[in-house]
Structure 1
Amino acid sequence: MAQPLFFEPVFKERIWGGTHLQEFGYKLTSDQTGECWAFSAHPNGQSIVRNGEYKGRTLGSLWEEHRELFGNLKGDRFPLLTKILDANRDLSVQVHPDDTYAKTNENGELGKTECWYIIDCAEGAELIFGHHAETKEELSRLIDEGEWGSLLRHVKIAKGDFFYVPSGTVHALCEGTVVLETQQNSDTTYRLYDYDRTDAEGNLRELHLEKSKDVITVPHALPQVEMRADTKEGKKVTQFVKEAFFTVFKWEIQGEAAFEQNEPFLLCSVIEGEGILMHEGETYPLEKGDHVLLPADFGAFLVSGQLEIIAAHV
């Protein structure tokens, strides 16, 4: 019988992190915790199953040894990585390469296309999304001269907003923002600008200006994604994005709602509320901060309660 797999996250201390991840029920060991790697099979931090017959196993080992859980998908690595980020301070301005550039320049690493769901943010919060350069020459000049005010595109945000961030997009989360990020399974980031901040030893953090110039899309193009919402008994399902690397939904559940899991796998992160997952006569409590993988052939299931879930599959 297919069972839901609950995962223990991996936490990452960051110069820009804070303590907001405590609000998901996590016990933090640092007041600069910036990232919760909820579903991760990346070598830099693997999440671990906390229930059932696979308790104690890493996501990566299940991918290698029990590919049937993932519909026997092809590939040399688990394709997705889910994070919750606490931007207690501004993140560095970054850009990610695509698969082709990363494979050549980053020892076979994947590129990184990602997306953000804004779980919460301070009043008046914003993020950096894109740039104003019209040509590669203008981009290079503005970077070389440090004309960040002229180059970077700022966008006001609100709780519940969604952003699709393809590789090649200049971006940065800014102070006072908590997001759930769904991305390719990659840890490749090119840092374009870091506000001249120093680390604990007083050193400026490394920048990657030439690689950034190589991969930034010019001119910036707003990604075109079609959001769709469907309301049925007990639930509202919003499809945020359906693209080559992932499909991402938000489930808003009030009462009892029926679902069907027919994908190779489904990643479910509870971002608000609590409830119960019911499957083949078994019940599983769901709480804010839980991350549950529903394997292939999971089939029909019910969720009851009042809760919000971000769900993703390839």
Structure 2
Amino acid sequence: MSLSIPLFLKPVFKERIWGGSALKDQFGYSILSNKTGECWAISAHPNGPSIIENGPYKGKTLSELWGNQPELFGHYDSEKFPLLTKILDANSDLSVQVHPDDVYAGKYENGELGKTECWYIIDCKENAELVYGHHAKSKEEFAELIKEGKWNKLLQKVSIKPGDFFYVPSGTIHALCEGTLVLETQQSSDTTYRVYDYDRTDETGKKRELHLQKAMDVSTVPHEDADTQFEITKSNASVITTFVKENYFTVYKWEINGRTDFSQELPFQLVSVIKGEGILTINNEMYPINKGTHFILPSNVKQFSIDGDVTAIVSHP
């Protein structure tokens, strides 16, 4: 019989050409350098598996638990842990990119999952924007504008502010832009096809690789804006916003102000605290949580409460 306890996770950090110091400045993380772009907060991907920080599984990776303790995840039917939660610090513009779906990635990327993702804007500079979609009406026009480098004509830019949410299905041309801090919920995949990288060079003077043919293969043309209808549920001490419910994940924002009781009938939930602090209580055991805490609620946690002033992004497959 496995214990009914949360699984707290130690994040993995990644340096990126576009990274900065916001993960240290805003979350207090001990980061690699002032070019740290990604916090892989809840991950069982081989390129950056999280480590359990508490209880009998302390020191094990999430991927080990997924393989060896399937009861913790409600015997969820998937060979791979399906989701990956990241916090991204876009200190400068990310490359314009696109991700494949499961079929294409499975065929051309050694059985990797595709990558549908979504973003919650934690913070951004004034007048920030991002690339979401494009203006080409046909594959021919799409290829021609890329070939001619007419990026301003091709790319669709969207103004953003803190609290915005974007659903980014595979096939969507996209890019986070300078001065943006986001929580990303995605399929557990590390496959990205770069379309344009601003002709940047790394410290050795080399440009990063582009993947134009694969990008043309997988891009949705013409672009389709994702239709997301938010659902909001209010109680005395909480506001729960459901951002998206679709094939790969459901994503919520929990805004808790005071004690809120929850019941869980799901295989498991991923929880990332992005603001505030409070106490998570399970079976009369109390666990402090605060901004930057990430944990999984396994399937055997049927009842729990959170007391405090806490905002969290929560997901499940």
- Indicate the TM-score class for this superposition, using the shorter chain for normalisation: over 0.9
Provide the C-alpha distance between the structure 1 equivalents of 2:31 and 2:83, rounded to a whole number of angstroms: 24
Contact 2:89–2:180, Cα closer than 8 Å, also in 1:
yes
Indicate the residue corresponding to 2:87 in structure 1. Answer: 84
Q: For residues 211-226 of structure 1, what are the structure 2 equivalents within 5 Å? A: 211-226=214-229
Q: For residues 45-194 of structure 1, what are the structure 2 equivalents within 5 Å? A: 45-194=48-197
SS of residue in 2 equivalent to 1:103: helix
Q: Tell me the number of residue pairs that the alignment of Structure 1 and Structure 2 aligns.
A: 314
SS of residue in 2 equivalent to 1:13: strand
**What CA deviation, in whole Å up to 9, does each residue of 1:41-72 have, x standing for no partner?**
11101000000010001000000000111000
For residue 29 of structure 1, report the CA deviation from its aligned partner.
Answer: 2.5
Provide the C-alpha distance between the structure 1 equivalents of 2:314 and 2:112, rounded to a whole number of angstroms: 25
Contact 2:15–2:32, Cα closer than 8 Å, also in 1:
no
Segment of structure 1 superposing worse, 21-30 or 192-201: 21-30
**What CA deviation, in whole Å up to 9, does each residue of 1:218-255 have, x standing for no partner?**
10001112210011021000000000000000000101
Indicate the residue corresponding to 1:245 in structure 2. Answer: 248
**Matched-pair identity in %:** 61
For residue 300 of structure 1, report the CA deviation from its aligned partner.
Answer: 1.1
For residue 130 of structure 1, report the CA deviation from its aligned partner.
Answer: 0.1
Which residue identity lines up with residue 28 of structure 1 in the other structure? Answer: I
Indicate the residue corresponding to 2:13 in structure 1. Answer: 11
Which residue identity lines up with residue 59 of structure 2 in the other structure? Answer: G
**What CA deviation, in whole Å up to 9, does each residue of 1:173-207 have, x standing for no partner?**
00000000000000000000000000110001100
Contact 2:4–2:282, Cα closer than 8 Å, also in 1:
no
Which residue identity lines up with residue 33 of structure 2 in the other structure? Answer: S
SS of residue in 1 equivalent to 2:105: helix
Provide the C-alpha distance between the structure 2 equivalents of 1:300 and 1:235, rounded to a whole number of angstroms: 16
For residue 298 of structure 1, report the CA deviation from its aligned partner.
Answer: 0.7
**Unmatched runs of 5 consecutive residues or more in structure 2:** none
Provide the C-alpha distance between the structure 2 equivalents of 1:136 and 1:170, rounded to a whole number of angstroms: 13
Runs of 4+ in 1 over 3 A off after TM superposition: none
SS of residue in 2 equivalent to 1:205: coil
Which residue identity lines up with residue 103 of structure 1 in the other structure? Answer: G
For residue 279 of structure 1, report the CA deviation from its aligned partner.
Answer: 1.0
For residue 24 of structure 1, report the CA deviation from its aligned partner.
Answer: 1.0
Provide the C-alpha distance between the structure 2 equivalents of 1:105 and 1:282, rounded to a whole number of angstroms: 47
Which residue identity lines up with residue 23 of structure 2 in the other structure? Answer: L
Which residue identity lines up with residue 97 of structure 1 in the other structure? Answer: P
Contact 2:14–2:32, Cα closer than 8 Å, also in 1:
no
Match of 2:202 among 195, 199, 205: 199
For residue 25 of structure 1, report the CA deviation from its aligned partner.
Answer: 2.0
Report the TM-score, using the length of structure 2 for normalisation.
0.98
Which residue identity lines up with residue 120 of structure 2 in the other structure? Answer: Y
Which residue identity lines up with residue 119 of structure 1 in the other structure? Answer: I
For residue 8 of structure 1, report the CA deviation from its aligned partner.
Answer: 0.1
Provide the C-alpha distance between the structure 1 equivalents of 2:209 and 2:158, rounded to a whole number of angstroms: 26
Q: CA RMSD in A?
A: 0.6
Provide the C-alpha distance between the structure 2 equivalents of 1:206 and 1:259, rounded to a whole number of angstroms: 47
For residue 275 of structure 1, report the CA deviation from its aligned partner.
Answer: 0.3
